[in-house]
């Protein structure tokens, strides 16, 4: 099963593609889709949609796993992340991919067994699970790989 994990953001949207075979995971691709701060919101969202569409066509995932928006102190940031999430959902739905959404707590519990795991613990478990030599970079991509692994480990999607 091919799973595309997405860590949404307006400046940078992390992506991670994994293949699950039984209980084993293999990293296929990871990276970040960046948009220019100088561009309008509409143009940034269009660029995100265009790049996500290419990514979905390239890897043909069975599932697209996305992090749910969590409470943010900065309302402006939360709103722009919500816009990015909407574009991710639209791209996945248009491509007829099954969509799975996970809270940060669910992702942390799936990877570490501990809902309050810190970023370093998450990155280490992602590296170990995927049998990588180094922690994936950038951080948004490492988070996206963790989201994909969470999807693969969640009973209803396994």
**Helix pair angle (104-112, 139-153), 10° resolution:** 70
Token digits for 19? 């293949």
Distance of CA 9 to the CA centre of its chain: 10
Q: What is the pLDDT along the chain (158 residues), one digit of tens a residue?
A: 999 999 999 999 999 999 999 999 999 999 999 999 999 999 999 999 999 999 999 999 999 999 987 665 667 778 888 999 999 999 999 999 999 999 999 999 999 998 889 999 999 999 999 999 999 999 999 999 999 999 999 876 65
3-state secondary structure of 64: strand
At the top level of CATH, the class of 2-153 is alpha beta
Could you tell me where the DSSP H helices lie in the chain?
41-59, 75-94, 104-112, 119-129, 139-153
Widest pairwise Cα distance in the chain: 45
pLDDT at 74: 66
pLDDT at 129: 96
- Domain assignments of the chain as residue spans, ordered by start: 2-153
Q: How far apart are CA 26 and CA 18, in angstroms?
A: 5
Active-site annotation, residues: 7, 67, 140
Q: Is 36 exposed, middle or buried (0-12, 13-18, 19+ CB in 10 A)?
A: exposed
pLDDT at 158: 55
pLDDT at 76: 72
pLDDT at 142: 96
């Amino acid at each position: 099963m091919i799973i595309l994990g997405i860590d949404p953001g307006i400046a940078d949207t992390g992506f991670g593609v994994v293949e699950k075979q039984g209980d084993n995971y293999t990293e296929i691709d990871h990276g970040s889709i960046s948009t220019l701060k100088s561009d309008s919101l509409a143009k940034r969202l269009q660029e995100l949609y265009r790049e996500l569409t290419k990514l979905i066509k390239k890897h043909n995932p069975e599932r697209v796993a996305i992090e749910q928006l969590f409470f943010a102190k900065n309302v402006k940031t939360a709103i722009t992340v919500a816009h990015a999430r909407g574009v991710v959902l639209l791209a996945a739905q248009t491509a007829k991919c099954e969509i799975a959404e996970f809270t940060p707590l669910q992702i942390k519990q799936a990877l570490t067994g501990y809902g309050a795991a810190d970023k370093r613990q998450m990155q280490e478990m992602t590296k170990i699970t995927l049998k990588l030599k180094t922690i994936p970079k950038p951080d948004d991509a490492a988070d996206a790989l963790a989201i994909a692994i969470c999807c693969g480990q969640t009973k209803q999607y396994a």
